[in-house]
Structure 1
Amino acid sequence: MKRDFLNVSDLTKDEILEIIEYAIKLKKEPFSDQTLKNKSIGLIFMKPSTRTRLSFEVGVYQMGGQPIYITGSSTQMSRGEDIKDTGRVMARYLDGIVIRTYSHKEVEDLAQYFDKPVINALTDYLHPCQILADLQTIYERFGKVEDIKVAFVGDGNNLANTWLIAGGLIGFNVSVATPEGYEPSGKAVYEALNLAKETGAEIQLTHDPVEAVKDADVIYTDVWVSMGQEEEKEKKEAFKGFTIDKQLLKHASKNAIVMHCLPAHKGEEISEEVFEQFADVIFDEAENRLHAQKALMSLLFK
């Protein structure tokens, strides 16, 4: 039976822990897993990308497969072809699809009509591949991904949504601080709270960054204005006081780390000083996209 990865909760807690451990192994032995040998994987990108595209292209190649990069404008989808029809056609050629797009429903529809694995490489609702790499990075730093507190400070976007669900699923505490009117999706909060009933995770929403980062082990942020929303300059006014800087860090755990999925707008969501202080963590996090996604693909395509 085919498996998709559209949401971090498409995996079990044990599977996520296995992916982290296997990703660390693949980091040392990049060509050791040839699960994708003689397979062709379509990489559909409706949005610009640096880390996601490179990590998936290199990852598919290292696993023996053929990555095929497909821009939205280069397909008939740009002329209105139904994604259901596109999925059924691609199923005749490809062994899997990685898709980065806007609407999460579009990915769900594609997965319904494409009869092989579909991986969500980012939608406006979720960014699950990024979180796998983030969890690997946290594990490398702390030796665990449980019994920790993650504080997300900024816009209640796809990453905030995914962190909430991941915390509820795995059992670590998540506190999300956003300005009023920029809270995470109610759907994501609902799923996180339901998952947390089983794992005991504490899920907190606040409008106070200081409250969110109190005793946090990981402080996470993302750009205030997401891709495709660059014209919303006035939005930045609402985020004054939500910058990750040295003053805010004083309220976190003594050994806390700061993470950022990149690209960063230094001086907005994170100060230049803090970014450089934790640059080794942030760029390890970027590298781990490659390894975590390879471990994910090994699971899905076996």
Structure 2
Amino acid sequence: MSTEIDHGSTLRELPTDKGVLRYHEVGTGPPLLLLHGSGPGVTGWRNFRGNLPTLARRFRCLVLEFPGFGVSDPTDEHPMLAAPGAVVRFLDGLGLDTVDVIGNSMGGIIATQVAVKHPERVRRMVTIGGIGRNLFTPGPPEGINLLMEFTENPTRDKLVQWLHSMVYDPSLITEELIEERWEHATDPDTLASAKTMYGREAMRFRQEMEAKSDRAPYWATLHKVRAKTLLTWGRDDRVSPLDMALVPMRTIPDAELHVFGNCGHWAMIEQKEAFENVVQAFLTREDG
């Protein structure tokens, strides 16, 4: 397989009763669903394109683009609320009963929600930061505060500040990456959607609603996850600090944790080879 995988040739469309879901497909083998995180200019392709050449040697990689992030058709729901349903529609539309899942940050939260509600559909699950609850570090963390600042006042400088909070090694934040994210993040529809998630007013409202709600937060339901789970984390994550891993590590019944040193929030990018090796070993391990 070529080490170069093209955006256009892998892009697919799946019509559903709530609009078109777009995704990238490459490789053959057991189905592996990859779910992206949130943030300015994010897409599933940008999160995982560097990992596809390796993972597609063993898996049928399906990179879903969530509604509300500027690629798949938006719905009338809040993007974070729409995402779990989009995953189920996607699996149904492709006729997939059970998949392995890799979820980055928000994508990890969505993966756990699907695994709790539809345990028969997730065989094994890999999360990249993001899930759990910070126990020792203050919140919101640095990266989330910078994300809110950009959402409220979307300047190029604020985007650069946020991008730097995502990584341990600042050399990863290239001009090409900045321009790519800037162009997508400042699209009016994408920015409006981001404000529903990370505007300060939206964050305050969500906190108030959670305080009044009788529903348990997702992190309090992690004990219901039945899938074998690999939690991966950057030791130097400034978006979801490492102490967040303690809750899922302790409460998910069949979980293990791998921490990458010299690594921020994007473990799949910043520690690419190590991440791919650990994930492939986990997903292909014999059941026992």
TM-score bracket, shorter-length normalisation: 0.3 to 0.5
Larger Rg: 1
